[in-house]
Amino acid sequence: MSKLFLGFFTLMFLSSCKKEVSTVTDSSQAGVVKAHRFDQLFYQKSTDEIQQLKKLYPYLFPNQMPDSVWVNKSNNKEEILLKQEVEKVFGDFTSEEKQLGILFTKVKTHFPSFESPKVITLISDIDYESKVIYADSLLLISLDMYLGKDHEIYKEFPPYLSQRYEKSNLIVDVAQAIADQTFNQSGRNNFLNQMINQGKKMALVDAFLPDVAHALKMGYTPEQMEWTENNEFLIWQYFMENQLLYSYDIDLLHRFVFEAPFSKFYLESDQESPGRIGVWMGWQIVESYLKNNEVSLADMIKTSPEEIFGKSKYKPKK
């Protein structure tokens, strides 16, 4: 039952929140966040208690599902144990609420129309693809995805993924979710434009979280970040010499942009590299563009990748 419900919960939230979001009243103001701990409220409940929760959070309970499903899930032993593990790591969540308040304030500084979303914490039964969902005025955070990379429940996950399941990654994932919703990808789909579009998102995350380490923003270890910075010139040289920048080969995205244990240069040193090198390179190009042009973040995200690259004056560090 627990696993069966897993994907359905996320999908139904996304389809129902647009219908129900008008019922949400945002209780937070810029800089002040009080999360709704649905993860604490949902478990070990009777049918009557589930009915009360449905009145408070109608967008989390699609009408297609009978109450018996929710009651069974609420009393699922595995999820109750997972809830207890979440309690050990997060406690009262006040530290995270403060971080979220600072983040929302920073976003609003750059994008005045931004409104702080209603924050709801829950347990997704280890749904690694939906750690954070930001839609309309709601922000869902799956706390069971931030229990620590060495936690027993992640033992079957590859290290390049589980290293991001730390408590400190939560605020980064929220910033990335907001960045993802801030602009639409633009430009032709060649490799260079794909990198720059990803770089735009990273530039937003960087501006939203100025005090967070670059390694954490990229999901790298400090050692992976050091390798990447030390090899920036060689990476760029490889892209240039192999004429990859203007290629439309989708395999380049799998090699250098999508999640992977390492980037694929087809060299002996590949396994020393972290994945998503193309994302980091795109970020460097966008950062160079912002440094060399008087432009706001709001204007940057509207600028085509072609123009960003042309005006970036990007030179990789040797």
Residues 249-266: pLDDT tens digits?
999 999 999 999 999 999
Calpha distance 223→226 (Å, rounded): 5
Calpha distance 76→61 (Å, rounded): 17
DSSP bridge pairs for 36: 120
In the chain, the amino acid numbered 126 is I
2 falls in which pLDDT band (50, 70, 90)?
Answer: very low
DSSP bridge pairs for 138: 118, 135
Would the pLDDT of 105 be above 80? yes
Would the pLDDT of 3 be above 90? no
Mean pLDDT for all residues in the chain: 90
C-alpha 276, offset from chain centre: 14
Calpha distance 23→39 (Å, rounded): 20
Taking the CA atoms of residue 238, residue 243, residue 244 and residue 250 in that order, the dihedral angle to the nearest 10 degrees is -140
Distances (CA, A) of 169 to 102, 141, 159, 161, 214: 15, 12, 15, 12, 12
Distances (CA, A) of 243 to 151, 187, 246, 318: 43, 19, 7, 20
What is the per-residue pLDDT for 210? Answer: 97
Instruction: Name which of 17-31, 40-54, 157-171, 216-230 the model is least confident about.
Output: 17-31
What is the per-residue pLDDT for 188? Answer: 76
311 falls in which pLDDT band (50, 70, 90)?
Answer: very high
Would the pLDDT of 24 be above 70? no
Counting runs of H as helices and runs of E as strands, what totals does the chain give?
16, 4
Average pLDDT over residues 94-117: 96
